[in-house]
Amino acid sequence: MSELFSSIFSVNFGFAILRVMTPLLFPAIGIAISTMAGSQNIAMEGSMLIAAFFGVIVGALTGSLALALIAGIAAGVLLCMILGYFHLKLKADIFLSAVALNMFASGITIFLLFMITGDKGSTSSLKSPIFPNFHIPLIEKIPIIGGIISGHNVLTYVALLSVPLFFILMFKTPLGLRIRAVGQNPDAAESVGIDVNRTKMYALMISGVFAALGGLYLSMGYVSWFSRDMTAGRGFIAIAAATLGGMMPVGLLLSSLFFAFVSAVAIYIASLNIPSELIQLIPYLTTVIALAVFSGRATRKKKEKAAAEMAQKKLEQQGQQ
């Protein structure tokens, strides 16, 4: 037990949490944005995967990190645009379309992987650039904290910066305001001349950018190759993280950290030959419980509010008589 504690309170452990958090936080932000627009995008998994793949391939072909970044983001966004097209224009159920696109991404990446490398497992034979690690001057020198916070992949910092960015986008820009309005009351948005479908499309595209960054981190940061289905359900875990985080910036950060913490503990525990499965299921169970509690509270609140309003009205009327 003490062994466990000493490893959990180690610098390495803290470092690992941020590492594991990165590919969860990105798609969680993507989910939150699309949810706020009223069209929850559960094609994060596919979008991440396809971005991870094209990032590596373009990186390997051109040797350019910038082009890899662009290709990855373009691929991730394109997938979300297809989702938007089917959902908004062809009136397909967004969940079913997203399920289909997740399968599509899994299939097409393996398919192309084989066509390009002759291997179906991974791109380890290709040499692609990766995103560099970054040591933060000064902070690096601080004991413990420096070790945990400094020296991460650049995309980990981008992920952390994405939290305030997400806040600014949604709450401090006209587009964010419109996205929220469209999600809350599309008729209201329509009535003041906002193009609802276009706004939703933008939200889906932005969610695609964040998913793509998450995917790129996996194949060009977390590891340095693409392997089949390497997202391993992170796009779905992000739905849980976004739900648990209440779709709000700080909430997303905390819930992603929580999921990462539990995964990191599970990894450590597994290395100690203690069954880690029970630890691994904690975040999902927590999400279900949170969902039950929040939904329960929301229904109760509505009733209470209506009752309170009624009482208030009665009082007013009595006062008048």
Partner 1 sequence: MDKWILKYFTLIRVMIALIIGVAVTILMIYLISEYPGESLKYFFTGPLVSKGRLFNILEMAAPMIFCGVAIALSFQADQFNLGAEGSFIIAAAVGTAFAVSTNMPAFIHIPLVLLVAGATGAAWSLIPGILKAKWKASELVSSLMMNYVALYLSLFLINSYFRDLDAGFLVSLRLPETALFTQFLPGTRMHFGIILAVIAALAAYYFLYHTTSGYEFRQTGYNKQFARFGGINIIKVIIMSQVLLGFVAGVGGVSEVMGIHGRFLWQGFPNYGWDGIIVAIIGRSHPILIIFSSLLLAYLRVGGQVLNLMGDVPAELVNVIQSLIILLITAEAFLGQWKYRITRRQAEKEEAAK
Partner 2 sequence: MKDNILEMKDIFKVYPEGVIANRNVSMDVQENSIHALVGENGAGKSTLMKVLFGITPFQGGSIVYKGKEVSFSNPREAIAAGIGMVHQHLMLAPDLSVAENLILGMEPKKGKLFFDGDTAIKICREASEKFGLAVPPEKKIKDLPIGVRQRVEILKALARNAEILILDEPTAVLTPQETEVLFKTLDGLKKNGKTIIFITHKLSEVTRVADRITVMRDAKAITTRGMEGLDEDKIASLMVGRDISTKRITPPKNIGAAKLSVRNLRYTDEDGVEALKGVNLDIRAGEILGIAGVEGNGQSELAEIIAGLIEPDSGTITLDGKSLLHCTPRQVRELGIAHIPEDRMKNGVAEATTIEENLIVDRYYKKEYNTRGKLHWNFITEKSKELIAQFNILTKNSKTNVGFLSGGNIQKVVVARELSSNPEVIIASQPTRGVDIGSEELIHNLLKAARDEGKGVFLISADLDEVLKLSNRVVVFYNGQITAHFEDASTVRDVDLGPYMLGLKKEEAASGQMDS
Q: Which residues bind partner 2 (CB under 8 A)?
A: 168, 172-174, 176-178, 180-181, 184-185, 187-194, 306, 309-310, 313, 316-317, 320
What residues have CB less than 8 Å from 233, skipping those under 6 apart? 45
Binding marks (x or -) toward partner 1, 222..241, rule CB under 8 A? -----------x--xx-xx-
Residue 9 vs 95, nearer CB to partner 1: 95
Distances (CA, A) of 255 to 9, 11, 241: 19, 21, 5
Q: How far is the CB of 126 from partner 1 (least distance, A)?
A: 17
296 binds, among partner 2, partner 1, none (CB under 5 to 8 A by kind): partner 1
CB atoms within 10 A of CB 167: 15
Residue burial 253-275, b: 16+ Cβ < 10 Å; e: rest? bebbbbbbbbbbbbebbeeeeee
4 binds, among partner 1, partner 2, none (CB under 5 to 8 A by kind): none
Question: Do 28 and 249 form a contact (C-beta atoms < 8 A)?
Answer: no
Q: How far is the CB of 261 from partner 1 (least distance, A)?
A: 16
119 binds, among partner 1, partner 2, none (CB under 5 to 8 A by kind): none
Q: How far is the CB of 251 from partner 2 (least distance, A)?
A: 15
Q: Find the length of the chain.
A: 321
Question: Do 217 and 153 form a contact (C-beta atoms < 8 A)?
Answer: yes
The count of chain residues that interact with partner 1, using the rule CB under 8 A, is 45
Options 47-55, 91-99, 189-197, 309-317: segment touching partner 1 (CB under 8 A) = 91-99
Which DSSP string corresponds to 258-285? HHHHHHHHHHHHHHTTS--HHHHTHHHH
User: Cα separation of 286 and 282, whole Å?
Assistant: 6
Q: How far is the CB of 180 from partner 2 (least distance, A)?
A: 6
Residue with tokens 């899994």: 106
Q: Which residues bind partner 1 (CB under 8 A)?
A: 42, 86, 89-93, 95-97, 99-101, 103-104, 106-108, 110-111, 114-115, 120, 233, 236-237, 239-240, 243, 275, 277-278, 280-281, 284-285, 287-288, 291-292, 294-296, 298-299
